[in-house]
Amino acid sequence: MNNCILCPRKCGADRTVSTGFCGAGEHAVVAKASLHKWEEPCISYKNGAGTVFFSGCNLHCCFCQNNKISNELFGKEITDEELSDIFLRLQDMGADNIDLVTPSHFILNIINALDIVKHKLQIPVVYNCGGYESVKAVEMLDGYIDIYLPDLKYFSGEISAKYSNAPDYFEKASKAILAMTAQVGKLKYNDEGGLLKGTVIRHMVLPSHRLDSMEIIKWIAENTSNESVLMSIMNQYTPFDFISDKYPELKRRVTKMEYNSVVHLAAELGINGFTQQKSSASEEYVPDFDLSGI
């Protein structure tokens, strides 16, 4: 916390007295904790994932659908003990798992909270992140995380620099994802089709960037196996009003041709996983961040 190098930015912030690039200080900040039924079918398969939405982010993507908490930093500061209580409450509500959303900058708090209640948790823990992780951080999570749910957002460093100020995004994310898959191993399910162990890689197709998406598909096909990885190709990009006029190419939705070309390539290369209907690209699927469940 005194010289934070948890993520690839290695900004070196003393989070005991200030905040890092991600906006995080010493204590976890949470915007909502609730059952969420709109994750992938193997994640939200029964009552819904027990989502804990953390505020702040180490990417600050210019188009983020959770802009209110990732970029505007809305949320409530809580102790590690309070975070552990949230985990248990979600389990008592029947959550299919504990789904840690944008958790990268609060790894130390999460580990502390899980140490408090790990012996009481009977459901898997999901690490639902933007993919911009360090391998060292993934190693710290060994034994705490059952399911990794990372984004793999960009292949091109030019694109990742433009939209997320992270020219090394693919270099760092690809290494981290390989570390994740090696750590949790093969996909494992319960009798209800719920995922107990494994990795699901998400990729959201962006308007005007289907070729970049296709490079990501090729990398996944060449570097992972269907025994350990599922892929979720997302069609939910929404051109929110807050997106700057500097990015006119992001002011529209993804076309059917753009999305289908990516899905067809994944099918040709034998990748298993999930696709989304175009109706998923809607503001109605953005959670209402109202501090409920905290």
Of 109, 110, 19, which is closest to residue 73 (Cα–Cα)?
19
Mean pLDDT of 96-119: 97
Range from 61-70, 95-104, 274-283 carrying the lowest mean pLDDT:
274-283
Q: What does the alpha-carbon distance between residue 25 and residue 14 come to, in Å, rounded to a whole number?
A: 8
Q: What does the alpha-carbon distance between residue 261 and residue 282 come to, in Å, rounded to a whole number?
A: 21
- The owner of tokens 């995922």 is 195
DSSP character for 58? S
pLDDT, tens only, 42-95: 999 999 999 999 999 999 999 999 999 999 999 999 999 999 999 999 999 999
Mean pLDDT of the chain: 96
pLDDT, tens only, 183-203: 999 999 999 999 999 999 999
Radius of gyration (C-alpha) of the chain in whole angstroms: 18
Q: Give CA 53 to chain center in angstroms.
A: 10
pTM summary value:
0.96
- The pLDDT, as a whole number, for residue 287 is 85
Q: Is the pLDDT of residue 281 over 90?
A: no
Contact 115/166 with Cβ under 8 angstroms? Answer: no
DSSP character for 39? S
Of 68, 109, 56, 66, which is closest to residue 87 (Cα–Cα)?
109
Q: Residues near 42 by Cβ (< 8 Å), separated by ≥ 6?
A: 189, 193, 194, 195, 200, 230
- The pLDDT, as a whole number, for residue 279 is 61
- Enclosing H/E stretch for 229: strand 229-234
Q: Is the pLDDT of residue 149 over 60?
A: yes
- The pLDDT, as a whole number, for residue 282 is 53
Mean pLDDT of 202-218: 98
- The pLDDT, as a whole number, for residue 286 is 74
Q: What does the alpha-carbon distance between residue 67 and residue 57 come to, in Å, rounded to a whole number?
A: 10
